Amino acid sequence: MKRDLALQFSRVTEAAALAGHKWLGRGDKNAADQAAVSVMRSLLNKSEIDGEIVIGEGEIDEAPMLYIGEKVGLGGEPVDIAVDPIEGTRMTAMGQSNAIAVLAAGERGCFLKAPDMYMEKLVVGPNARGAIDIDLPLAENVKNVAQALGKSLKDMTVVTLAKPRHDKMIRLLQSMGVRVFALPDGDVAASILTSVPESQVDMMYCIGGAPEGVISAAVIRALGGDMHGRLVLRKDAKGESPENIAASEWEAQRCVEMGVEHGVKLTLQDMVRSDNLVFSATGITKGDLLDGVTRDGILATTETLLIRGKSRTVRRIKSTHYLDRKDDEVRQL
């Protein structure tokens, strides 16, 4: 993938973050999402790529923009694109930390095409590569990772999402002496924390979205960390209510159509097949990973994490934007 495309992708997540931020704390997560989706799409369509959305806003009948299979770009390099215009719409709407705008692009066929369902995820940083196996009990994984890192359990930090489905797991880890950080939402940012040197997080474990799982796999691969996943039916993540059982039947059907299996281990290589990728994330609200957007009249600032998988170059780009000078679709005064 041409080097210069990376900067182009960072402009796309910057614009999505600026658009989403306009809806910060206004309680309307759909409006925030819409704004980010639409600007992301229009900037992708101005890029010199022959792009296809492989992880996006959903199926064509439910998502008018950035749906799975949508073609984007002016033509040029063939790339597959995985997006989450706002990873954390609820966080944006409620003014909580850690919301980001995110995109991963890779060579054709690079990313696992996963249905919009749940995924169990286990992520570690570069120093614990090879030490995880999602088929083993979590307690064992934590011990193996601690050993790989040369740490005692009481010095281990695991990050997860604060969801009822994780309560038992959180108590188990805490009873082992492990420190647990339970964030309200946003497992992409949480996953990245395992693999950036400045963070104290050793492992991320949760059941969250499968699309978010593939996006996380892209950045974890680019950073040299490790990850296992497993597609989980809704009834197994959220309980056997009639709606959840019906949703699970649809999910199982989608798995067959998309040629993936639920309930089986997915390695990092299964989810992301090449290093030839670019990952870009821009903070919307201030978080552990990135600063959020700041606004003062027509002036705005953003912070973006931009990573090229091939060279493993990690850039943090602080930008100042004069919104009155932007193209119409980005100009949000």
One character per residue 143-172, x = contact with ligand VTB (rule: CB under 6 A): ------------------x-x---------
Task: Say which residues have a Cβ less than 8 Å from residue 66's Cβ, sequence separation at least 6.
Answer: 37, 40, 41, 53, 56, 57, 72, 83, 85
Nearest to 27 by CA among 98, 92, 99: 92
- Residue 209 touches ligand VTB, criterion: CB under 6 A: yes
185 sits near Mg ion (criterion: CB under 5 A)? no
Closest distance between Mg ion and the C-beta of residue 187, in Å?
8
Q: Nearest to residue 102, comparing CAs of 253, 219, 267?
A: 219
Among 15-23, 206-214, 283-291, 296-304, which window interacts with ligand VTB (CB under 6 A)? 206-214
Type of residue at 85? P
Could you tell me whether strands 118-124 and 100-107 are parallel, antiparallel, or unpaired per DSSP bridges? unpaired
Let me know how long the chain is: 333
- Binder among 84, 185, 187, 251 for Mg ion (CB under 5 A): 84
Pick the stretch among 38-46, 76-84, 93-101, 175-183 that binds Mg ion (CB under 5 A): 76-84
Q: Which of ligand VTB, Mg ion, none is residue 187 near (CB under 5 to 8 Å by kind)?
A: ligand VTB
| 10 phi and psi angles, rounded to 5 deg | -70, -30
In this structure, what are the phi and psi dihedrals at residue 328, rounded to the nearest 5 degrees? -50, -45
Stretch that binds ligand VTB, among 139-147, 171-179, 204-212, 305-313 (CB under 6 A): 204-212
Q: Residue 216's closest CA among 166, 163, 265, 271?
A: 271
Q: What is the dihedral of CA 220, 225, 228, 231, to 10 degrees?
A: -10
Q: For ligand VTB, which is the closer residue by CB, 86 or 156?
A: 86
Q: Comparing C-alpha atoms, which of 29, 54, 173, 168 is closest to residue 108?
A: 54
Burial label for 241, CB within 10 Å (0-12, 13-18, 19+), is exposed
Q: Closest CB to ligand VTB belongs to which residue?
A: 208
The interface region with ligand VTB, picked from 2-10, 63-71, 134-142, 181-189 by CB under 6 A, is: 181-189
Please measure the distance between the N-terminal and C-terminal CA atoms of the chain and give it in whole angstroms.
34
- Measured from the CB atom, the residue of 70 and 84 that comes closer to ligand VTB is 84
Task: For the CB of residue 4, give the shortest distance to ligand VTB in the complex, in Å.
Answer: 30
Structure token pair of residue 233: 């039916």
Q: Does 229 bind ligand VTB (CB under 6 A)?
A: no
* Whole-angstrom distance, CA of residue 85 vs CA of residue 79: 18
Q: Which of 20, 56, 88, 287 binds ligand VTB (CB under 6 A)?
A: 88
Locate 131 and state its tokens: 């030490």
Could you tell me which stretch among 47-55, 68-76, 87-95, 216-224 binds Mg ion (CB under 5 A)? 87-95
Which listed range, 3-11, 25-33, 69-77, 183-191, lies at the site for ligand VTB (CB under 6 A)? Answer: 183-191
From the list 70, 87, 288, 303, which residue makes contact with ligand VTB (rule: CB under 6 A)?
87
How many of the chain's residues bind ligand VTB (CB under 6 A)? 11
| 283 lines the binding site for ligand VTB (CB under 6 A) | no
Q: Is position 85 an interface residue for ligand VTB (rule: CB under 6 A)?
A: no
Of 8 and 96, the one with the shorter C-beta distance to ligand VTB is 96
- Measured distance CA(238)–CA(245) in Å, rounded: 10
In this structure, are residues 76 and 49 in contact, taking their beta carbons and an 8 Å threshold? yes
Within its chain, how far is the Cα of 102 from the centroid? 7
Catalog residues that contact ligand VTB under the rule CB under 6 A.
87-88, 161, 163, 185-188, 208-209, 212
Catalog residues that contact Mg ion under the rule CB under 5 A.
84, 86-87
